[in-house]
Structure formats: C-alpha cells, structure tokens
Amino acid sequence: MSNENSAKNIILNALVKKNPILVSGMVIAPVVVTANTFLSAATLALTFSVITFFTLVVSSFVPKRIVYTVRIILYTLIGALVYVPSVIILNSVIPGEISKMGIFFPLLITNSLIISRSETIFFRESKGQMILDIVFCIIGYDAAVLLYGLIREVLSAGTAGGKMLGMPYVFSALEYPFGGFILLGAAAALFRFIFMTVKRAGQK
C-alpha cells in the first residue's frame, strides 16, 4: 500500500485535510439551511449518512465500461431508490424530524459526494479503501455538522440541545440561511487556523 493510499492517510484526509464541509465545500445547502439546532443537525447527520453510504456502496458496482453520461443517471437513480426505504425507516425512528428538513432530505440524492467525489476519488480506489474513505468522509461530515449545529444553536437561541444557557445576548439572525453562511465561513477559517497552528507546532 503506497503512502498516499495508506489507511492513516485516507482517514486524515477524510476527517481533516479534505473535510467535506469545512474544507471542500460539499453538501453545504442542508447545513446552512436546516442545521440551526443540535437536534436538527443530528437529524441531518443521520439522514446524510444513510443515503450517502448505501448509494455510494451500491453505485460502486455500476460497471465502468458504461459511459459516464449514463453512469451518472444510474448513480442518482440508485440514490432515489435508496431514499425510499430510508425515508420510511427514518420516519418511524425519528417521527416528525424528517418533515422539518423539507425538500433538503430528498435533495441528498444529488449531493456532491455522490455526484462529484464518487468519480474523482471513491471509485478509483480498491473496495476496502473506498469503504474506509466513505465511512470516514461521512464521520468527518457528521462531526462537523453536529459541532456547527450546537454552536449555531448556542449563538442564535442561547440554548444547547434545547436547554437554556442564560446567554446575555443572542445573534438570532444566525438562524437564517445568510447567517448560516457567515457562521460556516467563520468556522472554516477557524478550522484552517487551528490546523495550520497544530501543523507548525508539529514541524518545530
């Protein structure tokens, strides 16, 4: 196994160096719009994980000899088929929460990890590496979404997981999509700053 494709490198890339939200800018729309509390962030993380994992794993069996033009339709069709049992099961597990996501739940079918990253990264790897990469990409995404949802809830509503914190001032505009964009931009900058600081400290 080459250094570039080592398990450690794949995990580090998926979680940190190419974190889907904080670095690569993938699947941002549902984060910015729906993840404004910790609970809604948890719902998004769960639904994203289920749809993305099963769609990518099933899509990896689509033969490469089929032209890309047709393959991409098959990927989204598989996503739409995975969506059907997912929505039924998740609706019974977390009733009411799925409907709060509105159109952003079915939109996960065409998320950029499935459309773009599958062809450029995932499907070029061996099956084992691919599964590892997908799993840690999803973990990286979920961790970032949960943390983001919690911070956004604290700043915009003064609560954490629904419990009042007694904040002296709240920024209620952060609940809106534009506030979500600004907060996500700040979070991405902070993440890069911390990463560079840790990297420099490691080099010294």
Partner 1 sequence: MEVIRNIIITAFTAVFAENTIFSRALGTSTLVIVSRNRKNLAGFGMSVTYITAMVSVLTYFADKLFGISETSYIYIPLVYIVILGSVYIITLLCLWRFAPKLFTKMRKYIHISAFNCAVLGSMFLISKNCETLAEYFFHGIGIGLGFVLAVYLTAIVYDRLYSEKAPYAFRGYPLLLVYIGILGMAFWGLSSHTLNY
> Is residue 161 at the binding interface for partner 1, with CB under 8 A as the rule?
no
Residue among 7, 12, 186, 198 that touches partner 1 (CB under 8 A): 186
The stretch near partner 1 (CB under 8 A) out of 2-10, 37-45, 66-74, 161-169 is 66-74
> Is residue 184 at the binding interface for partner 1, with CB under 8 A as the rule?
yes
> Is residue 62 at the binding interface for partner 1, with CB under 8 A as the rule?
no
> Is residue 162 at the binding interface for partner 1, with CB under 8 A as the rule?
no
Binding mask 13-52 for partner 1 (x = CB under 8 A): ----------x-xxxxx--xx-------------------
Question: For residues 126 and 131, what is the distance between their CA atoms, to the nearest angstrom?
Answer: 9
Three-state SS for 176?
Answer: coil
Three-state SS for 45?
Answer: helix
Give me 58's structure tokens: 């099933």
Residues in Cβ contact with 80 at an 8 Å cutoff, skipping those fewer than 6 apart: 109
> Is residue 178 at the binding interface for partner 1, with CB under 8 A as the rule?
yes
> Is residue 137 at the binding interface for partner 1, with CB under 8 A as the rule?
no
> Is residue 84 at the binding interface for partner 1, with CB under 8 A as the rule?
yes
Provide φ and ψ at 163, rounded to 5°.
-95, 135
> Is residue 182 at the binding interface for partner 1, with CB under 8 A as the rule?
yes
Give me 1's structure tokens: 């196994």
Residues in Cβ contact with 102 at an 8 Å cutoff, skipping those fewer than 6 apart: 34
Contacts 24+ apart (CB under 8 A), 54-59: 54/82, 54/86, 55/79, 55/82, 55/109, 55/114, 56/113, 56/114, 56/118, 56/122, 56/130, 56/134, 57/131, 57/134, 58/82, 59/114, 59/118, 59/123
Size of the site for partner 1 (CB under 8 A): 49
> Is residue 109 at the binding interface for partner 1, with CB under 8 A as the rule?
yes
> Is residue 111 at the binding interface for partner 1, with CB under 8 A as the rule?
yes
> Is residue 140 at the binding interface for partner 1, with CB under 8 A as the rule?
no
Residue among 9, 110, 129, 159 that touches partner 1 (CB under 8 A): 110
Strands (E), 55-184: 159-160, 163-164
- Residues lying near partner 1 in the complex (CB under 8 A): 23, 25-29, 32-33, 68-70, 72-73, 76-77, 79-81, 83-84, 87-88, 103, 106-107, 109-112, 115-116, 173, 176-186, 188-190, 192-193, 196
